[in-house]
Chain A
Amino acid sequence: MKYEVVIGLEIHVELLTASKLFCGCSTAFGDEPNSNCCPVCLGLPGSLPVFNRRAIELAVTAALALNSEVQLTSRFDRKNYFYPDLPKAYQVSQYDRPLARGGSLEVEFNGGRRGVGLERVHLEEEAGKLIHAGDSIIGAGYSLVDYNRAGIPLLEIVTAPELHSGREARLFLEDLRTVLLYSGVSDCKMEEGSLRCDANISLRPEGSSELGTKAEVKNMNSFRSVELALDYEVKRQEQVLSGGGSVVQETCHWDEEKKQTIALRGKEGSSDYRYFPEPDLLPLVLESDFIQNLGRSLPELPAARQNRLRDQYGLEREEAFLLTANRELGDFFEEAAGEYNDYRTLVNWIQGDLLYQLRESGKQAEDLEPTLLVKLLRLLDEGSINRPVAKELLAEMVQTGADPKKLVRERGLERISGLESLLPLVEQVIAENPEAVENYRRGKEKALAFLVGKVMAMTKGRADPAELNRLFKEKI
């Protein structure tokens, strides 16, 4: 039997606030464990939560960027469960009255663009972080807990069950990440855990409209592992179903080492979180002006930018895609394009040499001033330097941020041209390479390139190649 794969994602994104959702503690990543804590985020007896206005702004901004309908009144609820990383034994979250409902995100899949529906977007607080002694959560001798993360504002985005493969899930996530980065709400670093994804996955006979029994997959720590884990889970469920068995509703853990999903024993099943309205917070009531203002100040989103880059600069589809997906590179391009209107040359340098040098040196586009690249291209256009020199200079600029003009001047890298400079060199090369000269005379064009190359080597690539060609032809 052929099966259709049905996947829904639950994405958690840490919001980029300086302080936590309900207290003034810092949200900095990587600080000394348990150093960014106070009575509120440690849930000490008697402490009470107070909203961080900035977190609400960011959450609303994200919801608007995802076309989700922001609710004028939403409410916070307590999700009760016991776990050592949860200081109050409940998480302040939103249950039946979320911040925003619905929404969609257009994603480029193999079969073309398709909108993926969202169920809801809501705000909640992060738990602390457990560090298990030993290899994994299973069989750890003891665990340590760091509450620095506890109370960081977290956005939960729940998709409709509208994804159909591990690949689709990955593509969706990548696009979602780009949108959230563009909206400025999160740094979306999967490796630091500021973007996390759980998936509900089930199979059903092709053509059926009923959902099959799902498994929940957790612990997928990269886009790649989302794809791998879900593909693995598809195969596993297929085998179970084809063998006449039935899928058990369970929570699985993706094991990155073994590349397989492992059912977590005894943890879930039918958790009853005993949600009820959080009595320590008033319902969140938003003014429609507040929402509209955030909507107006929403930055340009990826889809719009991609179109604009093509229209405004005449870029190819792939180029526009590259400069959108890599937001900093796109910003670099646009800033440079403000001063330099040969967009074709500019984009070629950016997606070619610049991107290469950035990768080589481990730097980011924002580490280099766009105006420096423009200076370099101008030197080239004016004929002040040769192309190989320009490439070398770019490598150095990326490393040190130096001004190319200054480098050229200091090191005397200007192009060498003019009869009095070049003629003695040409004559010297002719005298020293009689064989090549002879070959050229016999009509071997390659021999000319060889002779020009000799002068180039003597001048460290600075001689004007056009003038050299002319001089050799005249002299031979």
Chain B
Amino acid sequence: MRLYEQTAADLSRMLQSREVSSVEVVRSFLERINEVDPHLKAFITQTPVMALDSGGEIDARRMRGETIHPLAGVPVAVKDNISTMDLRTTCASRILENYIPPFDATVISAIKKAGMPILGKTNLDEFAMGSSTENSAFYPTRNPWDPERVPGGSSGGSAVAVATGMAPLALGSDTGGSIRQPASLCGVTGLRPTYGRVSRYGLVAFASSLDQIGTVSTTALDGALLMSLVAGYDPLDSTSLPDQIPDYSTGLELDLKNLRVGLIRYGRVEGFDPQVTETVTQAASLLEEHGAEVGEVSLPLTDYGLSAYYLIAPSEASSNLGRYDGVRYGFCSDGDSVEAMFSRTRGEGFGPEVKRRIMIGTYALSAGYYDAYYLKAMKVRTLIRRDYEQAFKKFDLLLGAASPTPAFKLGEKTEDPLQMYLSDVCNITDSLAGVPSLAVPGGFSSSGLPIGLQLTARPLQEKLLLKAARFFEEQRQPAFLRPRLEYLEGGGSNEI
């Protein structure tokens, strides 16, 4: 039995019954990382020593008979835009290449307290800006189903780590689809919780009103277990929601009898792969066959979502990224004056996509343009929220695609930012509305690439999403399909 192929729930059970030790579990994943990661580059920083120490500590505590968290000893990978104390947090940017935070994000404190060993920090598009992980300043991550293709982004590293068994669970962040789109392209389950459900404290800000930490897992149950740990009110985050969290991981059976599902009718979206539409339609039929009431829903204003998003997110980003000036931490260039030092630091430290968004955002917030761009985008955002409120009067769950296409080729969209932005078109309006949204594997394209479904629910209804994801898992055989990584099996030396 390969431990790295087990779900987090199974590992938890095996650890609690002392069938395996945490050190054995950690070692299995570390070996898998050694085998796979050189080819796919999911990690920016690996932390084998830390993970083994942490695993050893948990084993010792278990031996002493201490009461420990069910996930204690189950390892996890963390997107590299989440602050980890004394551990490099780069955001895949040159400007933070050597930045070591002196504090843990709230979610990291929770993970450490529970005793989950951290395997490493995963790759992303620089500052989470992108949909392919190609904007990493260090290297792109590759899709395990076809290494010539992208894993999606920005949480590409987390999605690949979980898809390939380099980690049973991972944390990602989703601003405009950064968990759901890569989950979809890699064939795993990714949950973007309600805005404010998981503390943002320690998540390096890209667009503060949209950023949300979420989970990447192979199954709904695993996602639920991790959610139970990281969700909840945090006094350090003023936008955190005070509501109690439910027990996400028990009672995950979906009651289809009383479920009303709205199948999203997409408006004028170019480049929608018919195989994706087909997969979504089949999923709707499946729900209907099992007793759900399925109707069509149109969210008329969502057509403007992409435009609104690409004004609001860059506006906030232009402000959030102002602090990287070389004065206090991170990369610092030189110059004859403080202004010259600022300019050179930022000019050399940021990659092209980050600069593009800073410029768009600076422009949108400038005097004379603010009303026409930022303010109008905020009004559209309000109207989109109302669209959702209307839709949720009729439906409990919205069903659509998690990505308009399966994974695209590396380099295919790098020269055309607009095409790249369109890869998030299915995900963005949920983000603007602040509602929870989940990507779950729905099927495969004719060329064998995963196609993801996207499920959306009312605020704080993460559990309903997890139940629905669980339903789709139960309809599949096997519940979770891993990429075969044929290119590795000839001895692992295949060049990619």
Contacts and interface: CB of A to CB of B under 8 A. Distances in A.
Contacts of A47: 103, 201-202
Interface stretch (A278-286, A317-325, A347-355, A398-406): A278-286
Interface in B73-115: 82-83, 89, 91, 96, 99, 101-103, 105
Given A46-B201, A47-B202, A274-B319, 13 more contacts: A44-B101, A44-B102, A45-B205, A48-B200, A50-B235, A82-B322, A87-B323, A88-B323, A272-B367, A276-B316, A279-B207, A279-B239, A281-B239
Contacts of A42: 328
A323 B96 CA distance: 58
A80 interface: yes
Contacts of B342: 82
A89 B202 contact: no
B350 interface: no
B322 A39 contact: no
A276 B319 contact: yes
Interface string B130-159: 000000000000000000000000000000
A80 B105 CA distance: 25
B325 A46 contact: no
A368 B287 CA distance: 84
Given A87-B323, A274-B319, A39 B103 contact: yes
Interface string B356-398: 0000001001110010001000000000000000000000000
A47 B83 CA distance: 9
Given A39-B103, A50-B238, A276 B315 contact: yes
A378 B121 CA distance: 79
B481 interface: no
A422 to B, nearest CB: 78
B488 interface: no
Chain B contact surface mostly: loop
B105 to A, nearest CB: 6
12 contacts: A44-B102, A45-B91, A46-B89, A46-B105, A46-B205, A48-B238, A87-B323, A89-B322, A89-B323, A276-B316, A281-B238, A282-B238
Nearest to B207: A279
B111 to A, nearest CB: 15
A50 B236 CA distance: 6
A49 interface: yes
B338 interface: yes
A280 B315 contact: no
A282 B239 contact: yes
B362 A274 contact: yes
Interface in A278-304: 279-282
A48 B201 contact: yes
Interface string B332-372: 00000011001000000000000000000010011100100
Contact of B319 (A51, A78, A87, A143): A78
Contact of B203 (A39, A46, A78, A84): A46
B319 A80 contact: yes
A274 B365 contact: yes
B60 interface: no
Contacts of B205: 45-46, 280
Q: How large is the interface on B (under 10, 10 to 19, 20 to 34, 35 or more residues)?
A: 35 or more
Contacts of A50: 235-238
A465 interface: no
List the 4 shortest-distance A-B pairs measured between CB atoms, nearest first: A89-B322, A279-B209, A274-B365, A279-B208
A40 B426 CA distance: 35
Interface in A2-58: 39, 42-51
Contact of A90 (B235, B238, B322): B322
A10 B191 CA distance: 49
Nearest to B237: A48
Contacts of A276: 315-316, 319, 365, 370, 374
B329 interface: yes
A82 B103 CA distance: 25
Chain A contact surface mostly: loop
Given A42-B328, A48-B236, A50-B238, A80 B91 contact: no
Nearest to B339: A82
Interface string B304-330: 000000000001101100110101110
B239 to A, nearest CB: 7
Interface string B225-252: 0000000000111110000000000000
B407 interface: no
A45 B325 contact: no
Contacts of B235: 50
Query: Residue among A42, A43, A88, A274 with the most chain B CB within 10 A?
Result: A274
A78 B239 CA distance: 16
A90 B321 CA distance: 10
A248 interface: no
Contact of A46 (B101, B329, B370): B101
Contacts of B44: none
Contacts of A88: 322-323
Nearest to B204: A45
B178 to A, nearest CB: 16
Interface string A80-95: 1010100111100000
Nearest to B210: A279
Contacts of B204: 45-46
A48 B342 CA distance: 23
B275 to A, nearest CB: 38
Nearest to B83: A46
A476 interface: no
Contact of A280 (B202, B238, B329, B362): B238
B131 to A, nearest CB: 22
A80 B365 contact: yes
Contacts of A72: none
Contacts of A89: 319, 322-323, 325
A50 B240 CA distance: 11
A458 interface: no
A87 B370 CA distance: 24
Nearest to B322: A89
Contacts of A275: 365
Query: Residue among A46, A50, A80, A279 with the most chain B CB within 10 A?
Result: A46
A42 B207 CA distance: 19
B318 to A, nearest CB: 8
Interface in B190-213: 200-205, 207-209
A363 B325 CA distance: 47
A211 interface: no
A45 B83 contact: yes
A274 B366 contact: yes
A133 interface: no
Contacts of B237: 48, 50
A359 B492 CA distance: 86
B373 to A, nearest CB: 11
Nearest to A40: B236
B59 to A, nearest CB: 31
A145 interface: yes
Contacts of B239: 279-282
B319 A90 contact: yes
A272 B363 CA distance: 11
Contacts of A51: 238
Nearest to A37: B328
Contacts of B201: 46-48
A43 B89 CA distance: 15
A84 B340 CA distance: 12
Given A39-B102, A45-B83, A48-B237, A84 B319 contact: no
Contacts of A272: 366-367
Contacts of B102: 39, 44
A84 B238 contact: no
